[in-house]
Amino acid sequence: MSGDRVMVEATAVHVPGIAPDRLIASATEPDCGPDEAHTLLGRKGLLFKEPAVRIAMCAVHRALGLPPGRPTGPVPGAAGTAVVVSSNLGNVATVCDIVDHVRADDLRGVSPMAAPNASSNIIASSIAIRYGFTGPNLMVCSGATGGLDAVRLGALLVRGGRAHRAVVVGAEPADETATALRAAAGLPPGPPQGIAACVVLAKAERPGGVRLHSVRRHRAPEAAPTGGPRTIRLASGTATTDHDLTALLDAGYGAAGVLQTALAARWLTDPTTRPAGIHDADEATLTCGSTGDGYATARLYRDGDAT
């Protein structure tokens, strides 16, 4: 998929439990964990929300540049805004808990407040409801490539005129169930309080900014080409990288591709955000995946026509 007509309008990363300047060098305040999400989102509407939902909404809130607290109505530009979320483990704890209750007590043991969280679309729908987004609403659960699959779908919605912008989110929790499933699958544990990132994609109607060139799928890791423009390379699930995101964050899994996109877009545009080891570049190549799930690679570039 080629997407040069799509730009990265805004980004946010939300990874509680790690030093804030580890990802964004200019960051000084630590990200709030799911139990403290009310400090950013306000208390109303968070009761019974999954940890992955809470940190995902924190990432969206920050990407949109909103002040702390719950919005009193649809945010500016909400009409026609799509939501695309990637998460493989977002609500597995609730699903397993419901299964355990049904096995022990039949359906009478299931709380009606917990049942909505059993929907695999709970993160995407919760974001749309909270911020008033009325465009297409999609949830991606495609394994290790999920983050870049979500970026690709968001770009397709914008390019095809189905949405004037797409809020693309990656989020994975760090609850006991998710951690156990990661271990059983041979995946490294994620950050201690979960991981979330958001990129807002829109039509590139003016020169400048960071644009999405392409997202493509492939079966095996690919060697980095020699020569060419200065490039930031981020990868998870492969050793062919200058700055291994998996090692840095202990595995983003379904959130990895969105996190890579958010970081690369920030680093390309603002030198003060680059941590040690990240140098100035004209473009970024991002790869996520695994042997079992295949791989996806995206390319971003800084538009050279800016004045």
Q: In this structure, is residue 105 part of a structural domain?
A: yes
For 184-248, give the DSSP string. HTTPPP--TT-EEEEEEEEE--SS-SEEEEEEEEESS--PPPSSSS-EEEEESS-S--SEEHHHH
Q: In this structure, is residue 307 part of a structural domain?
A: no
Q: In this structure, is residue 263 part of a structural domain?
A: yes
Q: In this structure, is residue 220 part of a structural domain?
A: yes
Quote the CA–CA distance of 192 and 175 in Å, as a whole number: 9
Question: Which among 76, 8, 19, 72 has a CA at the least distance from the CA of 44?
Answer: 72
Q: In this structure, is residue 34 part of a structural domain?
A: yes
From first to last of its 307 residues, the chain has per-residue pLDDT tens of: 555 689 999 999 999 988 888 899 999 899 999 999 999 999 999 998 999 999 999 999 999 999 999 999 999 999 999 999 999 999 999 999 888 888 887 777 778 888 889 898 999 999 999 999 999 999 999 999 999 999 999 999 999 999 999 999 999 999 999 999 988 988 888 888 999 999 999 999 888 899 999 999 998 888 777 777 889 988 887 655 555 455 565 478 999 999 999 999 999 999 999 988 888 899 999 999 988 899 999 999 998 744 3
Q: In this structure, is residue 264 part of a structural domain?
A: yes
Q: What are the tens digits of pLDDT across the range 106-122?
A: 777 778 888 889 898 99
How many domains does one find in the chain?
Answer: 1
Q: What are the tens digits of pLDDT across the range 264-304?
A: 999 999 999 998 888 889 999 999 998 889 999 999 999 87
Quote the CA–CA distance of 64 and 67 in Å, as a whole number: 9
Q: Hey, what are 95's tokens?
A: 């699903």
Residue 94 makes CB contacts below 8 A (sequence gap 6+) with: 50, 114, 117, 118
Q: Hey, what are 78's tokens?
A: 């909400």
Q: In this structure, is residue 207 part of a structural domain?
A: yes
Query: Which pTM was predicted?
Result: 0.93
Q: In this structure, is residue 99 part of a structural domain?
A: yes
Note whether 303 and 204 are within 8 A (CB).
yes
Domain range for 219 is 2-302
Give residue 243's pLDDT. 55
Question: Which among 56, 224, 223, 230 has a CA at the least distance from the CA of 150?
Answer: 56
Please compute Rg for the chain using Cα positions.
19
- Here the CATH number for the domain that contains residue 130 is 3.40.47.10
Quote the CA–CA distance of 197 and 256 in Å, as a whole number: 9
Quote the CA–CA distance of 220 and 228 in Å, as a whole number: 22
